[in-house]
Amino acid sequence: MSIFVLGEGMLELAAIEDGSARVAYGGDALNTAVHLARLGAAPQFVTALGDDPYSDWLAGKWRAEGVGLDHCLRIHGGKPGIYAISIGDDGERSFTYWRNDSAARAFFSHPMAESAIAAMMGASLLYLTGITLSIFDVAHRERIFEIMDFVRSRGGEVAFDVNYRPKGWLRADDARSAIRSALERSSIAFSSVEDWALLFETSDAEGIATLVKKAAGGEVIVKDGVRGCFFAAGEDRGWVAPKERCAPVDTTGAGDSFNAAYLAARIAGRSPQEACATGNSLAAKTIMHTGAIGARVAH
């Protein structure tokens, strides 16, 4: 199966204390790509990096994880974005970004972009997020929608996570329009209750699933923290609760790891309900460490 993940990978500053920080890497789509690779799915991560030492370091780390970078473009004079994690007493995270001139934003301007796009169009599974959409302008978002349409027209799957970060958009209305367009083109749709409530002021997981299913028409998974998730696939609907509750250390990347485990389980032929249980399990492991991507754990 040819799996393509479109998005941005960044430097991550975490565990900031006494003037020092742990430097790692993350980014919502990248997090999912790394976990897919750890689960044996061998995804290609489509993005752009700079030609600086930090970009080289990131690319080396991602390759070591088993993430394919055949279509990771290099921008002359570019550099990666950076984000820092702040963690509250309850383990919930917030982010500060330095990414306005991130190389990933220049992906579609690169001379080799068309080759990367052609490769994505041949995907068996294409994955992207609302944050992916937010780093591009309107014209390039339209190009992404064309890619999604083409993958679907060939019988491929398109998985999309709403993943809404208000700071990434000039206006909430722009986000609503772009995310609706992406959902209409998706066969597998993910959202958290939190993200959907920020955008559409609806916080009932079952109601959200009904609304998204009308737009997407395929599989819908609504993640709701400690409650687990609610799924709707065909005629099947229901809650899948976590096996156990954990006191989170850092919730960064939990939803991204859930998505990877869900997709890997579906690729392996498991039911949506089983895939949700697998997603809950990996998300529970993810929140027990600091940063988006921790050390390898048993799946």
| Residues contacting residue 63 through CB under 8 Å, at least 6 positions apart | 69
What SS3 class is residue 17?
strand
Set 161, 224, 250, 256: catalytic member: 256
Phi, psi angle pair for 244, to nearest 5°: -150, 160
Calpha distance 28→34 (Å, rounded): 10
Calpha distance 97→106 (Å, rounded): 17
DSSP label of 155: T
Contact 14, 291 (CB under 8 A): yes
CA 259 to CA 121: how far, in whole Å?
A: 21
Looking only at the bridges linking them, the beta strands covering 20-26 and 10-17 are: antiparallel
Q: Is the dihedral of CA 140, 146, 149, 154 positive or negative?
A: negative
Q: What is the token pair recorded at 81?
A: 């974005």
Q: Is 256 a catalytic residue?
A: yes
Q: Identify each DSSP E strand in the chain by its residue range.
A: 3-6, 10-17, 20-26, 44-49, 72-74, 82-87, 93-98, 125-129, 157-161, 188-192, 219-223, 229-233, 236-240
Among positive and negative, which fits the CA dihedral 239, 245, 250, 256?
Answer: negative
Query: How many residues would you count in the chain?
Result: 299
The residues carrying an active-site annotation are 256
